[in-house]
Amino acid sequence: MSLLLYGVAEAGAGMVVGTGLGDRPLRGIADGPLMAIITDHDDPAVIAAVGAADDYERTVRSLVESQAILPAPFGRVATDDEAVRAMLRRRRHDLLSKLEGVRGAVEFGLHARWLDGSDAASDPRSESDVAYLRDRLETRQSARRLASQLDPLTALARGIRRALRPEPDLPVLDAYLVDRGRVGEFIALVHELGGWLDDVELVCTGPCPPYSFADGGAYAGFGDEGSYPGSVLRSTS
């Protein structure tokens, strides 16, 4: 038997209803103030099947619409209820803290890249070693300047995770934690920024469950290494 974890909620959040992967019924396993939401699977191959990650994502999205959920990366499994309870006890402080941190919020991803003809550095693969290092440095510096032009979005976000990459095609990868009441305002500002940033394409994904803000070891040691199930909305300015 494999127990697939979808996320963690408060133990008093109410009954768990609905179905998950393979139309298996969702159920909760509680320990103290926390409750893990899982489905039971006799055949582990169901979890590895093509399209399973998309089905998992739809289930998590449905769950976060009804209550505060700290989503788990896809693929976290346990062998029995006691293993789940042990995880809840072992990670109680971290899980409670992160659950409170994402309450009432959703995640947006923002990918920024330069269009052809921009001031990004040339392709370093055609250069010498010295030129390669120089171009990577110049690209990273350009990425920092581009990232600073996105800073107005931080005023509308509860939290931000940012990655700068020394690559011309995708130099800035941001994740924003946004209160549900500010979603419209956030999307409007993304479109506004996309309108006045020259030679820059912004790709916004979301709203999604706050996967990027549920990490930091909250689920470390529980089941298999998971992966981010993916984005659900794309808009290009």
Q: Which two tokens stand for residue 148?
A: 């600073």
What is the dihedral angle through the alpha carbons of 88, 90, 92, 97, rounded to the nearest 10 degrees?
-120
Non-local (6+) Cβ contacts of 121 within 8 A are 135, 136, 138, 139, 142, 168
pLDDT of 236 higher than 50? no
pLDDT of res. 132:
58
φ, ψ for residue 197, nearest 5 deg: -80, 120
Terminal Cα distance for the chain, rounded: 47
Q: How far is CA 175 from the centre of its chain?
A: 7
User: Counting runs of H as helices and runs of E as strands, what totals does the chain give?
Assistant: 6, 10
pLDDT of 157 higher than 50? yes
pLDDT of res. 223:
61
Mean pLDDT of 8-34: 90
Give domain limits for the chain.
Answer: 2-103, 105-211
pLDDT of 176 higher than 90? yes
The residue ranking higher by pLDDT, 128 or 17, is: 17
C-alpha–C-alpha distance, residues 199 and 70, integer Å:
37
pLDDT of res. 75:
87
What confidence tens digit (pLDDT) does each residue in 74-113 have?
Answer: 989 999 999 999 999 999 999 999 999 999 999 999 988 8
The residue ranking higher by pLDDT, 218 or 63, is: 63
C-alpha–C-alpha distance, residues 233 and 207, integer Å:
7
In this structure, the strands spanning 27-31 and 200-208 are unpaired
What confidence tens digit (pLDDT) does each residue in 180-233 have?
Answer: 999 999 999 999 998 888 788 889 999 999 999 986 556 765 664 343 333 333
pLDDT of res. 17:
87
pTM for this structure? 0.79
pLDDT of res. 235:
34
- Report yes or no: 63 and 28 within 8 Å, Cβ to Cβ: no
Other Cβ atoms within 10 Å of 158 Cβ, number: 17
pLDDT of res. 158:
94
pLDDT of res. 119:
52
pLDDT-based confidence at residue 47 (cuts at 50, 70, 90): confident
pLDDT of res. 153:
94
pLDDT of res. 167:
67
Class of domain 105-211: alpha beta
pLDDT-based confidence at residue 234 (cuts at 50, 70, 90): very low
Q: How far is CA 106 from the centre of its chain?
A: 9
Handedness of CA 65, 72, 94, 26 (dihedral sign): positive
